[in-house]
Structure 1
Amino acid sequence: MYSVKSFDADRGNGATNRFNVLKCPDWVNVLAIVPSGQFVFVRQFRYALARETLELPGGIVEDGASPLESAQEELLEETGYAGGEWFILGNYLANAGLQNNYVHSFFCRNPSPKLGVVPEDGTTVQLLSTEEVRQALYGGELCQAFALASVLLASRQGLVTMS
């Protein structure tokens, strides 16, 4: 799934430097709002941080799947929600200084819980009001860059109001 490519390259000034690129599949995330107006978030333990984080549902784009198909699958797997009206928010580089992959952010309006689907182990679904999302944004609890980008993109496109 992940690999490191190391190579030497001329920086343009005659000096050669060693570069490492983490080759990754593209990622997706979903900013979803259910009919009650609440946002769908997940809490997951992140071993790199040794703590739980508040995030948007998301994951990798599987081989042979489109970003939209992957986003729909991640929303279902992580939260048990499906359906609704889908919009692309945008695509952006995950970390251009080190990685080669893109993040594809989506907005989903009015998904509903799918009967019999239990969210992934280790994932807690949390429905938040607009005010709670605002508090999480400005209070630092919602601190993953991809989630922040998705909220900003949705706000700029008039899909949500955060002011």
Structure 2
Amino acid sequence: MIPTNSAGYTVDKKAVVSNAVTEWDFGAYKVASFDIHQENGAVAQFNVLKCPDWVNIIAVLGSGEIVLVRQFRHALGRETLELPGGIVDDGKTPFQAAQDELLEEAGFFGGEWIQLGCYLANPGLQNNYVHTFLCRNPSFKEGSEQEDGVMVRLMSPQDFIVGLHHGELSQSFMLASVFMAINQGFIQFQSK
């Protein structure tokens, strides 16, 4: 019989782990390797990306427009359009990182901040969380310099929905975060 919790989901027994080592350190993330000793006696090697937590920000202006950033993503070899966000640097809280990223990437600051929650980035391979914040009515800092290669785009909620349908907005963390905001009643989209 497979053990389950009260919600009916499978519950894994704690695995026995040995030989944990960090094999590669790339600065923004590390690759760790370790052995998992299974109940049948087999030993399997497993690798994990050890990443710092991330933040993303749903910044909604008084006009209702959503602040997005277009930037080149080397893994794809092309630009993407997504929410402002980034890494939670050592010594900073997710809230501090969110404020910094909104200013650095998009040039906005202040406003009313609400932490919507957090979720696991990719628990099959990674150990980090994505923290999502809503920022209502931020102000644009005149003369602010955005990160190199980052362009700000303001998008109406209706155009945001169109962008989802046409694949222009497809970054999974952004979609999960927007769903959080909709689910909690902070953003409402109306179809055309």
Same fold (TM over 0.5): yes
| Residue of structure 2 in register with 1:72 after alignment | 99
Q: Equivalent residue for 1:158?
A: 185
The CA distance in 1 between the partners of 2:148 and 2:137, in whole Å, is: 24
Gaps of 5+ in 1: none
Please give the alpha-carbon distance, in whole angstroms, between the structure 2 residues aligned to 1:97 and 1:22: 10
Higher relative contact order (CA 8 A, sep 6+): 1
Compute the RMSD of aligned alpha carbons: 1.0
- Please, what TM-score do these two structures have when normalized by structure 2? 0.82
User: Which residue of structure 1 lines up, in the alignment, with residue 37 of structure 2?
Assistant: 10
Provide TM-score, normalisation by structure 1: 0.97
Separation of aligned partners in 1, 2:108 and 2:183: 25
**Paired residue for 1:86?**
113
- Between 115-124 and 46-55, report the one with greater CA deviation: 115-124
Equivalent residues in 2 for 1:111-130, closer than 5 Å? 111-130=138-157
Alpha-carbon offset, residue 13 of structure 1: 3.4
Alignment partner of 1:39 is 2:66: yes
Amino acid at match of 1:136: G
Unaligned runs of 5+ in 2: 1-26
Does residue 63 of the first structure (1) align with residue 93 of the second (2)? no
Alignment correspondent of 1:149: 176
- Give the Cα–Cα distance (whole angstroms) in 1 for the partners of residues 189 and 116 of structure 2: 16
Query: Relative to 1, partners in 2 of residues 1:17 and 1:153: Cα closer, same or farther, differing over 3 Å?
Result: same
The match for 2:55 is: 28
Measured after TM superposition, the shift of residue 90 of structure 1 is 1.2
Off by >4 Å, runs of 4+ in structure 1: none
The structure with the larger Rg is 2
Identity of aligned residues (%): 60
Number of residue pairs aligned between Structure 1 and Structure 2? 163
Change (3 A) 1:19 1:86: same
